[in-house]
Structure 1
Amino acid sequence: MPTSPHRRRSSSVPVIAGLGIAGLTLLGGCAPGEPELPACIARTAVDAVPAEGALFGVNPDWGDQTLAAYAELLGRDPAVAVSFADVPLDATDRENVLAAGEQVRGMGGTLLLTLEPREGLAEVTDEVAGNVAGLVDGIQRTGVPVVVRFAHEMNGSWYAWGQQPEEYVAAFRRVADALHTRAPGSAVMWAPNEGGGYPFTGGPSAAVAGTEAFELLDTDGDGVLTIADDPYAPYYPGDDAVDWVGMSLYHWGSEHPWGENVLPEEGKFAAQLTGEYAGLDGDQTAVPDFYGVYGIEHGKPVAIPETAALVVPRGDDAGERAIKQAWWAQVLSDDTAARFPELKMVNWFEWDKEEAEVGESVDWTVLGDPATRAAFAEELPAWLRFGAAPEPCAVLTGAPPSAGG
């Protein structure tokens, strides 16, 4: 099978970068003579899980647009915003995460913090995990729930942490333990890539025959890695370490190589989420039912932390809009809500960027074009949950613990 497509973040920093922890502790404070504001109340990720429906969020281009500007275009405050940081954290990473958290606080939302160990899983030491927990606890004390998505798409072969199940599980559990202990109320998300196309051969981290990793990933014991091997289970860190499960799930087109603007097949989203897809991109029914296994059997809230539909702008505005509309009609349908009640988060990938897998710029956005934006906003279903601007409050000076790198 060809290497699966995957999202790579930009190195762009949040628009309001420049807030350090010391600055954050003063946000929302009162000027002399003004009425004293109540102290901010720490909100936890557990508080943010809706009893019914799903949080709607955005994976934004922080370098191009503030969350407030995004919300103004959409007409709704996003309930979740996705931010990325390298781990170990450096000063710039911490500054950017704090800045993102402050924007999320203004929306009354949840921060989904994606941590990327680009130097390898061995760098994720106890000290590094503790530094992450300190940063997260400080953000939660400002009233922002935090869900940490550690080393996503670990079943792929394209990241430095990919296809190393033993090392990955150990690092994930190390981070989860630090967060659960030092940032109580935070949550940790385990989020592989959708398994169609597994084992995603050809990437720099692809498992090599004869290694321990290869043996662990050969779940059917036939001596080769194929789509018949489980793309999820070898990487699962355990119920005690995992609070949320998630899956990157995009419409990249109908067949590899990607780049053609094509309407998604009817029922594609649900079929990929449940391991029932058999269509233009091949028979992928060997892939397990992700929702059934991890959402139902393991009892975890399910997220789609990243989704969108591939459109390469080629001058057919109406046709390109129809592709996006057909995809969101599946992802956000009432049938989706009814069939998948444990689906608790859906985040749109709101980027227009060059994609190496395509060799061209892909417009993943739904708000960039006015006509597409109007259609998307009009068709947002009632079962989605959005953010609500919080009441002004004062962050207590000195409340956040050290988050040094």
Structure 2
Amino acid sequence: MNLTITNVKRLGSSERESVTIEDGKILGWNLPEDQHGETVDGRGGTIIPALTEPHAHLREPGQTEKEDLASGLAAAAAGGYGNVVCMPNTTPVIDDPAIIRTLQDKAAALGLARLHVSAALTKGQKGEQLAELSALKEAGAVMFTDDGRTNENARVLRLGLEYAGSLGMVVSVHAEDATLRADGVMNEGEVSQALGVPGNPTAAEAARIARDVEIVAWLHERGNSPRLHVQHLSSAAGLERVREAKRRGLPVTCEVSPHHLTLTDEKLRSFDAVYKVAPPLRTQADADALFEGLLDGTVDCIGTDHAPHTRAEKERDLLEAPFGIPYIEVAWPVMYTRFAEKLGLEKLVDLMTAGPARVLGWPEPSLEAGAPADLLVFDPDTERKVNPATFQSKAKFCPYAGETLKGWPVLTVVGGVVAYSSEG
């Protein structure tokens, strides 16, 4: 049975069209009605490839009081995401091929956003001994990372980059020097000093990126094929280290999160741990520099670092509350509202669709006939306030609560199947 989405507009066009899907792929545009099969009204929305999330914490296995595959992938679909890469800092850590297979099978049965599993670079994410990388890749891992922890042992990271490179896989890093970060809970600067709260300096990020880039350069010179991806860049200094690496022609990519583009450490004056995240919210100057990185191409993609916790955990004292901001289902409206005009809509779409695909070595998404039918239809005009009480995520809070946004998803299609409709 075919599925046809009617009454949609492609980027840059005011013409209302229809797209027909068959066997999970785009069959064609504006086909005769006798080929339509089942129809779904796109309600005049704009159609683009479904978003790809390169960095989300879905908390399964072992932390399902915070989030699980069903709630996290439903939230992702509601946010317009067709593909989600989950992080491995779970309980137990995803360092076993059997865990990957279990997660994939469970997610496939849900019919929501498509799950892609990243696996730990080191056993238990302890940074001491490489995990069984080849077996993890064979089981379906799409990336290796010790995210949630920093890679303090440079030799182990070097070995991981070598081995992963030989497998054609990317190593994604949480780039902070743990000794410089120390017990910092927010950006080190004027606000942390005023509050008397331990700070985390931008040097912690920049110094670690510089070290990792030099490891990549050294391996690259020797004919190896390392691929380093820097997660959730937060600072102007860190961004400049990546920019320099790219000038040198090194295989280094990076992502930026919407919260680092739109929020600053001024939010912590409230002592509200909803704004406590790692790496921390920085200054407006840092946010402005990251935006310039979007414009000039230094930043490869946008990743939310969706990190749900229980409300009780985030209501703890700022020093004791866990790091992490959840908001995957409003990331697209946030970015669309704040940056669609400043960046240009095509550039924004690229950063949240083709950009992550390029980092991961996947084919770039397309709306052409024959392409996978992973699609997002969104309403570019209607404004609505963020109401976390309606979230699909178990985390019914986010830093954008009450903010008026537009660009809300109307329809998310994954593999030719409707994974989310705003009409229920």
Which TM-score bucket, shorter chain as reference? 0.3 to 0.5
The structure with more strand, counted as a fraction of residues: 2
The structure with more helix, counted as a fraction of residues: 2
